[in-house]
């Protein structure tokens, strides 16, 4: 009977053991399955967002108080990883998140000492703590740490966990991660760390307040020795390498390399605004997302622009300035100044101020006229004129600057070079007041336009950045562009999350855009200056190459905008509250800032790259600038003028026959080249 009883007991025990093991396996499998269903935990952590100029230099950083820069494991030298693993977790590659042997040893040591004298956290556990948990010492926190450790081990490889740990661990002084630590302590990237430098850094996380070489170089040096000994024990380095590294002198910087932007603060503000409006990021993501924001800023051009403004505008005046420069082909905003002193006023006059553009709107009017049959030689009278309207509008009498008129006929090319207001209003009314508004919208100006006769003289406000965009479209032959401040945004792992859009739309006809561009060079024409005072006369002597441009002014605004095919810029100067500009010197600020910027920005550039190249549909004809007819040998002044093929003048100038006989038009059969063809 006894044997049967023992057998029944054995069978019961076996069944219970099997049942228990089965339940345990089911529980463990269910737990594993649950972990897999939950998926990998997110590895995003607060990191500093960095802002880059077009040359790759850092121009700004989110100011969170903690410096964190993610760097891939491939970029970290092996001796850095070896140093960390040797001193922190030698069995990292063999355990599954927990080192049971170390845990048992630590428990025994702590019981013996009646206190915590030894820890047993693995790299995986520490990474879980860095990512998800607070540092409080409660059992609930320890259980959660174990849970997150398992999730990390199940869903990520060892290389990914090690990379994350190296990028999140604290090295003291606000430096989190190996890259931030290397930059702070040594002023270099972690990619460049020597064995001696790496072993010094590896000893700091044990207690940054104790082992930082900036706090105690003696304790830091002693800790470095332990790290090197550990590396030697694990076979990561040889005894000779350890000896050499321990003797290598180290020099500490103790300074974080990046900070709030000192250069281009208005540009920096605009970029942060566009990260919200265009990229769709929130404030936290922008400040702590570890983003890499690549901007269009040209550091050289920005410095030139800031200096041109500061040296041109008198310190004794309250006149403000707004400036922007752009690559017409891409829309990249390469320089931006929103005011004379950011600390005194962060209001961005280049992107936010809406001011009357004056005559700088006229190129858009004359482009419209070209599309509707006008040519550079189209004639209208320039004389005091009062316009009366049958629809109940009040009378309107535009005036030229200083009430100077041609008192006779004037060509459109001459009207643009001299900025004749009467010609502009006549053209505007002839075309219809909706027509100019349509062109203004085509070139990206979105501010409200009043459909009135004076719109031709720039009485409806625009933002400087809008006017710059419009001029860039003219400069590039009529292709759509938009102001681009942010070229590309990457997350902390290098994944591109935003790229500036590219456009292929043709919004203006290239042949008319070129004819207009060439007409806009007339304001700087040295041959015409003196014969008829062009509006760019005051800066002609500062020019070393050909520019297209247009100035503009109202009682309270002064503008200058212009371009080469590769660079466009705009300047506005005036008082913030619209006070009248009275001094002649103050009225010249915009032109002088503009020419100084353009000349310095293009210094050393290949002139051929900035030359205006005519498209196939245009033809160059020498014309008398007064009457717009084909110039002859007897004309005292002529200007080579471009026309859309088929619209060029056919009549020769006969106004100077008393000097010499006009050269007759050659017959179709005549093979001899015309005189201007021989020259040009």
Q: What is the DSSP string of 641-665?
A: EEEETT-S--PBP-TTTTTSPPPPP
How far apart CA 519 and CA 511 sit, in angstroms, is 12
Yes or no: say if 168 and 177 are a contact pair by the CB < 8 Å rule.
Answer: yes
Which DSSP category does 96 fall into? S
Q: Is 359 a catalytic residue?
A: yes
C-alpha pair distances (Å), 21 with each of 6, 8, 35, 86: 22, 20, 21, 37
How far apart CA 221 and CA 440 sit, in angstroms, is 69
Strands (E) in 402-506, as ranges, are 408-411, 486-490, 496-499
How far apart CA 330 and CA 87 sit, in angstroms, is 52
End-to-end CA distance of the chain: 128
Q: Residue 396: beta bridge partners?
A: 387
How far apart CA 660 and CA 671 sit, in angstroms, is 24
How far apart CA 192 and CA 183 sit, in angstroms, is 10
Q: What is the DSSP string of 204-258?
A: STT-HHHH-TTT-HHHHHHHHHHHHHHHHHTTSS-HHHHHHHHHS--------S-
How far apart CA 61 and CA 82 sit, in angstroms, is 31
Q: Residue 573: beta bridge partners?
A: 321, 558
Residue entry with tokens 């219809």: 432
Strands (E) in 110-197, as ranges, are 175-176
**Catalytic hit among 81, 124, 359, 553:** 359
Residue entry with tokens 């990292």: 92
Spatial CA neighbour of 588 closest among 563, 571, 569, 568: 571
Spatial CA neighbour of 513 closest among 377, 379, 622, 612: 612
How far apart CA 542 and CA 592 sit, in angstroms, is 9
Residue 458: count of CB within 10 angstroms of its CB: 25
Q: Is 57 a catalytic residue?
A: no
Residue entry with tokens 């332990």: 226
Cα torsion 104, 107, 110, 116: sign:
positive
Which DSSP category does 149 fall into? H
**Catalytic hit among 54, 81, 88, 551:** 88
Residue 65, phi then psi, degrees to nearest 5: 90, -20
How far apart CA 222 and CA 216 sit, in angstroms, is 10
Torsion of CA 526, 627, 654, 624, to 10 degrees: 20
How many residues can be counted in the chain? 680
175-176 and 67-68 beta bridge pairing: parallel
How far apart CA 53 and CA 335 sit, in angstroms, is 10
How far apart CA 26 and CA 280 sit, in angstroms, is 45
Q: Which residues are catalytic?
A: 88, 359
């Amino acid at each position: 009977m006894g044997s049967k009883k023992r057998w029944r007991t054995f069978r019961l025990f076996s069944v219970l053991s099997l049942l228990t093991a089965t339940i345990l396996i089911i529980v463990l499998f269910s737990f594993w399955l649950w972990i897999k269903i939950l998926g990998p935990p997110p590895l995003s952590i607060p990191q500093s967002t960095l802002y880059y100029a077009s040359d790759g230099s850092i121009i700004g950083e989110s100011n969170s108080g903690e410096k964190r820069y993610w760097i891939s494991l491939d970029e970290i030298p092996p001796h850095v990883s070896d140093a960390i693993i040797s001193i922190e977790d030698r069995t990292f590659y063999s355990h599954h998140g927990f080192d049971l042997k170390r845990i048992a040893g630590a428990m025994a040591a702590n019981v013996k000492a009646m206190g915590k004298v030894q820890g047993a956290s693995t790299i995986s556990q520490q990474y879980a703590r860095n990512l998800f948990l607070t540092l409080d010492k409660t059992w609930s926190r320890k259980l959660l740490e174990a849970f997150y450790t398992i999730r990390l081990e199940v869903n990520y490889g060892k290389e990914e966990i090690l990379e994350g740990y190296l990028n999140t661990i604290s090295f003291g002084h606000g430096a989190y991660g190996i890259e931030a630590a290397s930059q702070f302590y040594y002023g270099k990237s972690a990619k460049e760390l020597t064995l001696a430098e790496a072993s010094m850094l590896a000893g700091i996380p044990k207690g940054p307040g104790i082992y930082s070489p900036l706090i105690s170089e003696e304790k830091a040096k002693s800790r470095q020795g332990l790290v090197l000994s550990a590396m030697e024990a694990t076979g990561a380095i040889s005894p000779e390498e350890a000896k050499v590294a321990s003797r290598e002198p180290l020099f500490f910087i103790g300074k974080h390399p990046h900070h709030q932007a000192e250069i281009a603060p208005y540009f920096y503000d605009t970029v942060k605004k566009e990260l919200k409006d265009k990229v769709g990021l929130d404030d936290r993501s922008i400040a702590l997302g570890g983003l890499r924001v690549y901007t269009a800023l040209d550091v050289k051009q920005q410095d030139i622009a800031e200096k041109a403004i500061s040296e041109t505008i008198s310190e004794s005046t309250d006149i403000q300035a707004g400036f922007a420069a752009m690559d017409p082909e891409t829309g990249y905003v390469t320089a931006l100044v929103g005011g004379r002193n950011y600390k005194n006023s962060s209001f961005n006059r280049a992107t936010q101020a809406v001011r009357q553009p004056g005559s700088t709107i006229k190129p858009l009017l004359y482009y419209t006229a070209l599309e509707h049959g006008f040519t550079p030689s189209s004639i209208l009278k320039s004389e005091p004129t009062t316009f009366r309207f049958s629809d109940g509008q009040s009378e309107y009498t535009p005036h030229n600057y200083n009430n100077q008129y041609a008192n006779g006929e004037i060509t459109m090319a001459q009207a643009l070079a001299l900025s004749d207001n009467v010609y502009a209003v006549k053209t505007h009314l002839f075309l219809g007041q909706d027509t100019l508004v349509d062109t203004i919208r085509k070139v990206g100006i979105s501010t409200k336009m009043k459909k009135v006769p004076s719109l031709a003289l720039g009485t409806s406000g625009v933002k400087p950045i809008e006017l710059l965009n419009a001029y860039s479209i003219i400069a590039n032959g009529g292709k759509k562009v938009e102001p681009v401040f942010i070229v590309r945004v990457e997350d902390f792992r290098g994944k591109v999350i935003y790229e500036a859009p590219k456009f292929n739309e043709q919004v203006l006809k290239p042949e008319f855009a070129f004819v207009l561009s060439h007409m806009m060079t007339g304001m700087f024409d040295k041959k015409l200056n003196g014969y008829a005072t062009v509006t760019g006369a005051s800066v002609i002597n500062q020019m070393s190459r050909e520019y297209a441009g247009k100035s503009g002014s109202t009682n309270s605004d002064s503008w200058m905008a212009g371009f080469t095919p590769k660079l466009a810029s705009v300047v506005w100067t005036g008082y913030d509250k619209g006070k009248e500009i009275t001094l002649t010197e103050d009225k010249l600020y915009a032109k002088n800032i503009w020419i100084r910027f353009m000349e310095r920005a293009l210094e050393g550039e290949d002139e051929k790259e900035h030359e205006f190249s005519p498209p196939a549909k245009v033809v160059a004809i020498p014309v008398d600038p007064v009457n717009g007819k084909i110039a002859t040998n007897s004309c005292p002044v002529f200007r080579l003028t471009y026309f859309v093929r088929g619209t060029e003048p056919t009549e020769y100038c006969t106004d100077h026959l008393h000097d010499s006989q006009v050269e007759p038009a050659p017959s179709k059969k005549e093979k001899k080249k015309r005189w201007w063809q021989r020259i040009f």
